[in-house]
Structures are given as structure tokens and as C-alpha cells.
Amino acid sequence: MLKIGIAGMGRLGRFHAGKLQNNPSVCLEGCFDIISERNHAATQDFKIRAFGSFEELLENVDAVDIVATTSAHFELAKAALLAGKPIFVEKPLCAELWQAQDLVSLAQARSLKIQVGHIERFNPIIQKAMDFIQKPLFIEASRVSPFQPRGTDVSVVLDLMIHDIDLILGFTQSPVTAVHASGVGILSSSLDIASARIEFANGALANVTSSRVALKQERQFRIFQRDAYLSLDLISKTGVLIKKNKDAHDLFQTDEGKPPSQAEAMKLFDVQKLDASEAEDALQMELDQWVESILQDKEPVVDGKAGLRALEAAVLITNAIKKQSKFEDKP
């Protein structure tokens, strides 16, 4: 039985608590939050202990789930690693690049596991689509949501876009060579809307747009590769794969030497619907995999190095926006 403590009992921390208690290999030992009302609510709702300090929590658990605000990630994660505890850290890994580098180095030196909460890796439609993604040439990603005050301690690049950055890095498996980006702050003191064009060493391109000023949530991917096109809706967990028919020899000419009609052209493609809407929820899978990685001494799906790579790309995008528009976060 793995004894786990949660640092941060806000909205997301409460989600984590429920999922961890679903796992028969976990004993949710307790929690710590700097807001006493959250601690009290956790003891009532989850029947767990609220520790008086983070240090006390560390003394009573085997592993730590860090679900605090991004600005607190580094201090909490470093203390946990120094105490010899494997950790789960919600995305982004840290607010600053040097902090993430420090944590990855520390974990490696002490042979401890870090898993970073890039939950979209566990989205069932992404997992289903991975069977078909092969050397993408062009990717479009769009992620928008209504404004919410929580999460605005960081820009939309670290709040929302970093989800898609992580996925794209996984799809392309190639280093970033150039970034062009722009963005604006609308309702907060930081970037609320951002758009980036990312170029990769293998020739792949990605256009990524994120906004937290919208009327409704949308999370969509369009992936183009040789002879195939994938369209994915990450909210409904559905998609479509359009693939060149293996019997089609020439898309542009019929036997009579004339261009095919639209109806004839469509016969040259196979259309396959993808549906993962009935699959297990991503957060449960993500936390179960973290627990399994500790108990079975396996590498996490999204380890500290993966979290660092996503943050590195996010920093490149943020810096490109500042250079392009002279945008600076307000104090």
C-alpha cells in the first residue's frame, strides 16, 4: 500500500483526492494547504488527516502529489525530493526554466521519479490516435476556454498551450528549430491569448492557438501526414481519420485523362470514425499510472524530462511574443 499526501486542496486537488481513493493500492494519508478552510473541508469530505505543515506531511507519506499553484511547485517539489519522496507535479512543472532544470537534476541524482501532469497524454482519443500518427508534416492545435481567475498566476502559454506543446513534441519526436509567436493580455495581467508557429528539425510545422477568453471550451487537433489526415476533438473524445485509398494510383487523373469529379475523388479515400467517448477518464488513468510507476519501479509516461522539454518550448514561445509585440507581464 502506497501512502500518498496531497499538497494543495483547491478544486484540482480535490479531484485528485477522489481519484487516488479509487485506487486499491493507495492509502491517501492526508493533505496540506496554506488555506485552513480547505484543510478542514478535506478532512470532512475525504476522511483524511490535514497536516499542520508540509514538513509534517513529508514525514508521514511515501510519495507526494503536488497540486498547488504553479508558483509554489518548485519549493514544494524540491523539499519532497530532498526528503526522498517520488512526486507528481501538475503542469507546468515549474514557473521558471531554471527551476525545472534543478528538479530534474535533483531527481536524477537521487534516483527519484517525477511525473508531470500533462493529462492530455491520457486522453482516450489521443491514445487511440497514436496508432495512426506517423511522421506528421503539419499540425494545427486550438485550445480555448472561458475566463477563470484561477490559473492566471501564469500566462495562457503555461496555463493552456503547454498541453498542446507537450502533445506536439510527442507527435513530432524532433527538436524545435524556430518559433514565431504573438499574443495579448485581455482580462489578466499576463497573456490571455497566444498563437505560435513552431518549426522542427525534421521539417514538421505546427500552428498552435490558445485563449482563455472565449464563450465555450474547445480543444481540437488537425494532423496532416503523408496520405492521411486526422481530425480530433479532445473534449468529445471523437475524431476522424481520412486516408488515401491503397487502390488509388492517381488522385488527379481518371482513366479518360480528365480530372476526377469531387464525388469520384472522395472514393479514393477511406474515412474511419474514431470514438473513445466511453473510455475511462484521463485523470484516473494518469494517477493510476503514476502509482504503478512507483510500485513497479517503471518510468512514468510523462517524466520530468518530458515536462522540462514542454516548458523549454513554452519559454521559447513566450520570449518570441515579448520580442514581437514588446509584451511584458505587468507587476
Mean pLDDT of 143-160: 87
- Specify whether the CB–CB gap between 158 and 99 falls below 8 A: no
In whole angstroms, how far apart are CA 99 and each of 40, 103, 248, 312, 328? 31, 6, 53, 11, 21
Q: In this predicted structure, what is the pLDDT of residue 153?
A: 76
The whole-chain average pLDDT of the chain stands at: 93
For the stretch 168-213, pLDDT in tens is 999 999 999 999 999 999 988 889 999 999 999 999 999 999 999 9
Give me the pLDDT at residue 16, please: 99
Report the pLDDT value the prediction gives residue 279, as an integer from 0 to 100.
82
- What average pLDDT score do residues 12-27 get? 98
Per-residue pLDDT tens digits for 57-97 = 999 999 999 999 999 999 999 999 999 999 999 999 999 99
CATH 3.30.360.10 spans which residues of the chain?
Answer: 121-280+313-325
Q: Does pLDDT of 260 surpass 70? A: no
- State the pLDDT confidence band at 250, using cuts at 50, 70 and 90: low
Rounded to 5 degrees, what angle do the CA atoms 206, 192, 126 make?
40
Rounded Cα distance between 230 and 130, Å, is 10
Q: How confident is the model at residue 15 (pLDDT cuts 50, 70, 90)?
A: very high
Instruction: Tell whether the model's pLDDT for residue 329 goes beyond 50.
Output: no
Identify the residue with better confidence: 111 or 328: 111
* pLDDT score of 304 more than 80: yes
CATH topology of domain 121-280+313-325: Dihydrodipicolinate Reductase; domain 2 (3.30.360)
pLDDT at position 325: 60
Mean pLDDT to the nearest integer, 110-122: 98
- Range in 213-227, 253-267, 284-298, 303-317 with the lowest mean pLDDT: 253-267
Whether residue 256 has pLDDT greater than 90: no
pLDDT of residue 249: 60
Q: What is the CB-side half-sphere exposure of residue 118 using CA atoms within 13 A?
A: 31
Determine the average pLDDT of the residues in 226-246.
Answer: 93
In contact, 139 and 202? CB cutoff 8 Å: no
**SS3 assignment for the chain:** CEEEEEECCCHHHHHHHHHHHHCCCEEEEEEECCCHHHHHHHHHHHCCEECCCHHHHHHCCCEEEECCCHHHHHHHHHHHHHCCCCEEEECCCCCCHHHHHHHHHHHHHCCCCEEEECHHHHCHHHHHHCCCCCCCCEEEEEEECCCCCCCCCCCHHHHHHHHHHHHHHHHHCCCEEEEEEEEECCCCCCCCEEEEEEEECCCCEEEEEEECCCCCCEEEEEEEECCEEEEEECCCCEEEEEEECCCCCCCCCCCCCCCCCHHHHHCCEEEEEEECCCCCCHHHHHHHHHHHHHHCCCCCCCEHHHHHHHHHHHHHHHHHHHHHHCCCCCC
Confidence at residue 149, expressed as pLDDT on a 0 to 100 scale: 74
User: Looking at residue 263, what is its pLDDT?
Assistant: 67
pLDDT at residue 118, rounded to an integer: 98
**CATH 3.40.50.720 domain range(s) in the chain:** 2-119+282-300
How are beta strands 228-233 and 238-244 bridged, if at all? Answer: antiparallel
Name the more confident of 247 and 199: 199
Rounded-to-integer distance, Cα 170 and Cα 159, Å: 19
- Kindly state the cell numbers that stand for 188: 489578466
pLDDT recorded at residue 327? 44
- Domain 2-119+282-300: which CATH number of 3.40.50.720, 3.40.50.300, 3.40.50.150, 3.40.800.20: 3.40.50.720
* Confidence at 331, pLDDT banded by 50, 70, 90: very low
Task: Report whether the peptide linkage leading into residue 86 is cis, meaning its omega lies within 30 degrees of zero.
Answer: no
Q: Which of 10-24, 216-230, 244-258 is predicted least confidently?
A: 244-258
